[in-house]
């Protein structure tokens, strides 16, 4: 455990004091796929935040030459943590810090700033789509110079440093005023406070036809409802959709970032974005609906009484990319996470480009993007992105969809149904069992792994099993191998059942079950996915015994 009331050594520096504080390691500071996520109460323990930040600095080199971007999603503890990080960065001699005004930066905007300013990396304070508030979650992740999440070799070194740390350095000083743009110095560290929206908005204007979008949104004939869920995307969506593109005032709901997200769960899905879902299900309804998550890197897309699954969304975007100015030159390739449906693969085959299948986690797209192998990528967890950044990007996905709508002059539903007619439909669903006992979850997965060795050739849910495996990925760029990324049951007709433990929660465990079946017959494309997949859903539940083992009546969230 970290220690309390440890002795410190003090170095006078003008009117400020650089303190070297004695500490001890915490055992639980291993970053996951999206950094270090814990309850706020864990981060507020004496020395906990400081230990992790010092370990991060210890893992870096030539600190006086570095420029780092810092910001977060505005959740509880965001502002206090940033002030600690600024004082520690100065005490450790970091050359320059670029900070979002008010301590705010969406995750895609942080990636944008890193790339636009040639920074060496960035510290992003967010727990993404997890709940906020004093009893909620908090998180920190480090992004590297390409703007993307740190690869495993970096996070492993940070973790190694957390396990050997014995002291950290911090300056005693007043808080830095982050409410105004400008520059100050803290010791030899230059701190620049910037508009969190400006660089990001400028990049969006280069990618999309803003004149065409202004014609679509500015006349009051096409109505948009964007739910920012009291999270960080509010200022971005208001600045771009309402002020720049002329959408009606009130287009952006819940636009003020709040430390507890207004008591809501900032996860843009059919369960947690219920206010938007109700609006889009009404008669009449806006023409287009979208919601983004806590840190702005995810988006749910809705039409009038029509839900677009994230897997379909990235496939539709790829098929229509030639209509969007920033992508008219063609796509080098595409990529999806393994649990994401194979709808994108069908588009790639038609276009004659490669489609890569990676583990879940945006960092796995980084090498593919940096090497120029792909242009678009996406995950079934409402994340999509492209070569413009090295993070998934919610508002970018919204603007992409709107630009396609403006070009095609069709509704969301018309565009998706036309896509299904052309490519066939990959019926797809994800069942999340959240906050279940971690031991039970691991037992289910372990027993499934053993059982799968006997399943090949058998028929379940009316489908014959071709093979079963535990997904392994070999990076085509650097040859690194990532194993045990999800248990897959693959059927001869291309259908799939996938089981995977999620690493983004802070309580218990989340077990996700993904189920997919391709249907070419357009007469069946209007079926509800839960009905179309009923046989495979029942088989997936039976094989895992999840309802019996968890005592649940069904999943927490269905998408």
- Alpha carbon distances (Å) from 388 to 146, 250, 326: 11, 29, 9
Q: Which residues of 56-84 are buried (b: 16+ CB within 10 A; e: fewer)?
A: bbbbbeebeebbbbbbbbbbbbbbebbee
Give the DSSP per-residue string, 250-263: T-EES-S--TTGGG
Determine which one of 34, 128, 311, 381 is catalytic: 128
Distance CA 234, CA 295 (A): 10
Tokens of 206: 């280069």
Backbone angles phi, psi at 21, to 5 degrees: -105, 130
Cβ 183 vs Cβ 177: under 8 Å = no
Distance CA 96, CA 434 (A): 41
Distance CA 21, CA 236 (A): 39
Tokens of 104: 């705010």
Distance CA 552, CA 559 (A): 18
Distance CA 395, CA 399 (A): 6
Q: Half-sphere exposure (CA, 13 Å, Cβ side) for 127?
A: 29
Q: Is there a catalytic annotation at residue 522?
A: no
Describe the crossing of helices 107-116 and 198-207 by its angle, rounded to 10 degrees: 80
Quote the strand ranges of 55-178, DSSP E: 67-72, 96-104, 121-125, 137-144, 167-172
- Alpha carbon distances (Å) from 451 to 444, 506, 534, 543: 10, 29, 22, 9
- Which residue, 269, 272, 333, 323, is CA-closest to 301? 269
Distance CA 294, CA 126 (A): 8
DSSP 8-state code for residue 34: T
Tokens of 180: 């105004």
Cβ 170 vs Cβ 21: under 8 Å = yes
H-assigned helices in 409-520: 412-423, 438-452
List residues with catalytic annotation: 128
């Amino acid at each position: 455990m970290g220690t309390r009331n440890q002795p410190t050594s003090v170095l006078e520096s003008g009117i400020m004091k650089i303190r070297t504080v004695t500490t001890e390691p915490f055992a639980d500071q291993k970053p996951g796929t999206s950094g270090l996520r814990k309850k706020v109460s864990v981060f507020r323990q004496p020395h906990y935040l400081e230990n992790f930040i010092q370990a991060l600095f210890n893992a870096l080199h030539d600190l006086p030459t570095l420029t780092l971007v810092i910001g977060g999603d505005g959740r509880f503890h965001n502002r206090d943590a940033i002030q600690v990080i600024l004082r520690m960065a100065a005490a450790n001699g970091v050359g320059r810090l670029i900070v979002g005004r008010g301590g705010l930066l969406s995750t895609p905007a942080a990636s944008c700033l890193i790339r636009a300013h040639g920074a060496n990396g960035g510290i992003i304070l967010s727990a993404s789509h997890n709940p906020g508030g004093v009893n909620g979650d908090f998180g920190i992740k480090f992004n590297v110079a390409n703007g993307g999440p740190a690869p495993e070799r970096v996070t492993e070194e940070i973790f190694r440093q957390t396990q050997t740390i014995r002291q950290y350095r911090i300056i005693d000083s007043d808080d830095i005023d982050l409410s105004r743009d400008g520059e100050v110095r803290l010791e030899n560290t230059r701190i620049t406070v910037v508009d969190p929206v400006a660089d990001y908005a400028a990049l969006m204007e280069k990618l999309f036809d803003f004149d065409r979008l202004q014609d679509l949104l500015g006349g009051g004939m096409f109505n948009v409802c964007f739910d920012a869920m009291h999270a960080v995307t509010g200022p971005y969506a208001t600045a771009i959709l309402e002020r720049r593109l002329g959408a009606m005032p009130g287009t952006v709901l819940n636009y003020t970032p709040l430390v507890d997200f207004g008591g809501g769960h900032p996860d843009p899905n059919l369960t947690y974005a219920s206010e938007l879902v109700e609006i889009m299900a009404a008669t009449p309804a806006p023409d287009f609906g979208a919601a983004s998550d806590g840190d702005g890197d995810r988006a749910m897309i809705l039409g009038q009484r029509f839900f677009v699954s994230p897997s379909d969304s990235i496939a539709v975007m790829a098929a229509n990319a030639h209509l969007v100015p920033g992508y008219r030159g063609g796509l080098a390739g595409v990529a999806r996470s393994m649990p994401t449906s194979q709808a994108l693969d069908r588009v790639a085959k038609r276009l004659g480009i490669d489609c890569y299948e990676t583990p879940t986690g945006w960092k796995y797209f980084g090498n593919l993007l940096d090497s120029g192998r792909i242009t678009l990528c996406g995950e079934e967890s409402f994340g999509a992105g492209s070569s413009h950044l090295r993070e998934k990007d919610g508002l970018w996905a919204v603007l992409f969809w709107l630009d396609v709508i403006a070009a095609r002059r069709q509704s969301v539903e018309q565009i998706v149904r036309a896509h299904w007619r052309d490519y066939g439909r990959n019926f797809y669903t994800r069942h999340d069992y959240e906050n279940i006992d971690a031991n039970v979850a691991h037992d289910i997965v372990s027993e499934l792994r053993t059982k799968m060795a006997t399943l090949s050739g058998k028929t379940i849910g009316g489908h014959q099993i071709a093979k079963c495996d535990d997904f392994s990925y070999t990076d085509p760029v650097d040859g690194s191998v990532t194993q045990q990324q999800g248990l897959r049951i693959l059927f001869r007709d291309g259908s799939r059942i996938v089981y995977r433990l999620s690493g983004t929660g802070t309580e218990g465990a989340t077990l996700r079950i993904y189920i997919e079946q391709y249907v070419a017959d357009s007469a069946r494309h209007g079926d509800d996915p839960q009905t179309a997949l009923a046989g495979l859903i029942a088989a997936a539940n039976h094989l895992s015994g999840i309802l019996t083992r968890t005592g649940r009546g069904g999943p927490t969230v269905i998408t």
